[in-house]
């Protein structure tokens, strides 16, 4: 065979492959944009008017100091924060919120959906506080994701526009627009302050500090969230996804990325004369290139029957923290009321009882019938159910129930730490006036583990 003809044939093959891949890329891009709203980035200098009929929920919070993906803008913001000494507000609300000083101005780190911008953008947030309109100078440290750790869509949409996360209240979904990014777990803004952000009126994107270190840009246009304008607003863009996100948008995005990679491979083959291949696959089970390897989107409310105690503890803790629940002993032997009504408050036994109910280790009827006011109640129910009783020298595993002679009950979290009410609720000392905020995560118990003289292992 003539070598020249062989080369021409291979080149035509590669060119045809490139044409096909380019067509597929354009097709996939159009599908993603039309179906899921991934359109153009937010234009700097845009004022967004928040609809009056949007049912808003109070602000929430996350932690800034987590392990961000080093290729993300979230990471770049985090590096700026570290270079400035990891500052957190201590003098006024929002207490313990991380902030940056940019162009001589303090700006609080927040998370919004990609509708309003991306990490690094100057953001001005206006709220209606009684008869007064207030503005809070902020900078986006993160972009809220649409999906929780279970792959459920937790987004709230107004005219198809991704506005925030949804929170059901008395059967009505409300929209949490904003999250503050805290310095650490040592403190957090008061519930009264966070509730003010259920009245956001305007959000202004004033450009990126990466591109405008001299300061924010002027407002040049105003947009509403009316259905006619939704075409001009980025509704869903690059966002945080759970490690196991198998949503269709993630699958399509991965396919598109693979197509682009195939185009690059084919062009390289044309130039080098090689014959390498790039297989088109949707990387569903390999994890995502998440901007954050930390907390991700807000966990879902724990579902009854989820046997994973650690996941349920994490979800319950976040759920109670979002409700600003206080420490207390009121039960009335009604788990539903304790769980759904924050006025009922939470102590160690109530916290553990809810976890055991949600994980299906004990039925709600069993718990309500026995009572769960004190730590010993949990131990007595475990004994009645004939759970394995552990000796002091038995190695603990995640989910073991630890009781301190009726004084306290906790759930072993592994690594020498526990989950209990102190991870989730606010405790106020009436004698000293001191308020202790929840840790938000497992912690090493004061006094160590020798204090827990009664230990049970729930059925695995």
Q: For tokens 């990466």, what's the residue? A: 210
pLDDT at 455: 95
pLDDT at 200: 97
Distant-in-sequence, close-in-space partners of 56: CB < 8 Å, separation ≥ 6: 50, 174, 175, 176, 177, 197, 198, 199, 200
State the CB neighbour count (10 A cutoff) for residue 36: 18
Calpha distance 351→281 (Å, rounded): 44
Counting residues of the chain whose pLDDT is more than 90, the rounded percentage is 40
Over 412-446, what HEC string results? EEECCEEECHHHCCEEECCCCCCEECCCCCCECCC
Q: Which two tokens stand for residue 337?
A: 């009321």
Assess whether pLDDT exceeds 90 at residue 286. Answer: no
What is the arithmetic mean of pLDDT over 197-218? 96
Q: How do strand 221-223 and strand 388-389 relate by DSSP bridges?
A: unpaired
More confident: 39 or 333:
333
Q: Is 417 exposed, middle or buried (0-12, 13-18, 19+ CB in 10 A)?
A: middle
Mean pLDDT score of the chain: 78
368-394 confidence digits (pLDDT tens) = 988 888 899 999 999 999 999 999 889
Q: Which of 61-65, 215-219, 301-305 reaches the highest mean pLDDT? A: 215-219
**pLDDT tier at 284 (50, 70, 90 boundaries)?**
very low
76-102 confidence digits (pLDDT tens) = 999 999 999 999 999 899 998 999 999
Distant-in-sequence, close-in-space partners of 333: CB < 8 Å, separation ≥ 6: 368, 369, 371, 372
More confident: 15 or 3:
15
pLDDT at 301: 54
pLDDT at 177: 96
Calpha distance 191→345 (Å, rounded): 14
Domain locations in the chain as residue ranges: 3-36+247-272, 46-232, 309-457
What would be the CATH architecture of the domain defined by 309-457?
Alpha-Beta Complex (3.90)
CA nearest neighbour of 245 among 326, 319, 146? 146
Distant-in-sequence, close-in-space partners of 275: CB < 8 Å, separation ≥ 6: 10, 269
DSSP 85-110: T--B--SSSSTTBBEEEETTEEEEEE
């Amino acid at each position: 065979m003539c070598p020249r003809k062989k080369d021409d044939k291979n080149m035509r093959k590669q060119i045809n492959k490139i044409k096909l891949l380019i067509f597929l890329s354009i097709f996939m891009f159009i599908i993603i944009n039309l179906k899921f709203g991934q359109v153009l980035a937010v234009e700097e200098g845009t004022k967004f008017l928040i609809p009056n009929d949007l049912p808003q929920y109070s602000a929430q919070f996350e932690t800034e100091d987590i392990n961000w993906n080093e290729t993300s803008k979230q990471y770049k913001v985090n590096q700026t924060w570290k270079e400035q000494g990891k500052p957190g507000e201590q003098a006024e609300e929002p207490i313990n919120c991380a902030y940056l000083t940019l162009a001589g101005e303090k700006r609080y780190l927040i998370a919004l959906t990609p509708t309003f911008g991306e990490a690094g953008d100057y953001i001005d947030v206006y709220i209606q506080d009684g008869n007064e309109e207030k503005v809070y100078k902020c900078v986006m440290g993160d972009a809220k994701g649409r999906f929780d750790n279970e792959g459920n869509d937790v987004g709230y949409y107004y005219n198809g526009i991704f506005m925030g996360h949804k929170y059901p209240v008395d059967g009505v979904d409300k929209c949490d627009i904003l999250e503050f990014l805290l310095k650490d777990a040592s403190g957090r803004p008061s519930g009264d302050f966070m509730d003010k952000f259920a009245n956001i009126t305007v959000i202004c994107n004033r450009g990126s500090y990466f591109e405008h270190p001299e300061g924010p840009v002027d407002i040049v246009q105003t947009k509403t969230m009316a259905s006619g304008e939704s075409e001009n607003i980025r509704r869903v863009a690059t966002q945080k996804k759970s490690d196991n996100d198998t949503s269709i948008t993630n699958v399509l995005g991965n396919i598109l990325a693979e197509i682009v990679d195939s185009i690059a491979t084919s062009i390289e083959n044309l130039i080098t004369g090689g014959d390498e291949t790039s297989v088109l696959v949707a990387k569903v089970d390999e994890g995502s290139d998440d901007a954050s390897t930390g907390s991700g989107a807000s966990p879902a409310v724990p579902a009854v029957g989820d046997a994973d105690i650690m996941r349920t503890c994490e979800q319950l803790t976040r759920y109670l923290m979002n409700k600003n629940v206080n420490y207390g002993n009121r039960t009335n032997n009604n788990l539903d009321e304790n769980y759904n009504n924050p006025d009922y408050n939470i102590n160690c036994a109530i916290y553990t009882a809810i976890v055991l109910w949600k994980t299906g280790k004990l039925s709600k009827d069993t718990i309500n019938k026995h009572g769960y006011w004190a730590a010993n109640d949990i131990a007595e129910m475990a004994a009645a159910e004939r759970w394995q009783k552990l000796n002091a020298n038995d190695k603990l595993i995640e989910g073991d129930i630890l009781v301190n002679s009726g004084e306290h009950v906790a759930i072993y979290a592994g690594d020498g730490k526990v989950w209990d009410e102190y991870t989730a609720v606010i405790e106020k000392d009436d004698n000293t006036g001191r308020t202790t905020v929840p840790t938000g995560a497992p912690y090493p118990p004061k006094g160590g583990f020798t204090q827990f003289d009664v230990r049970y292992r729930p059925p695995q």
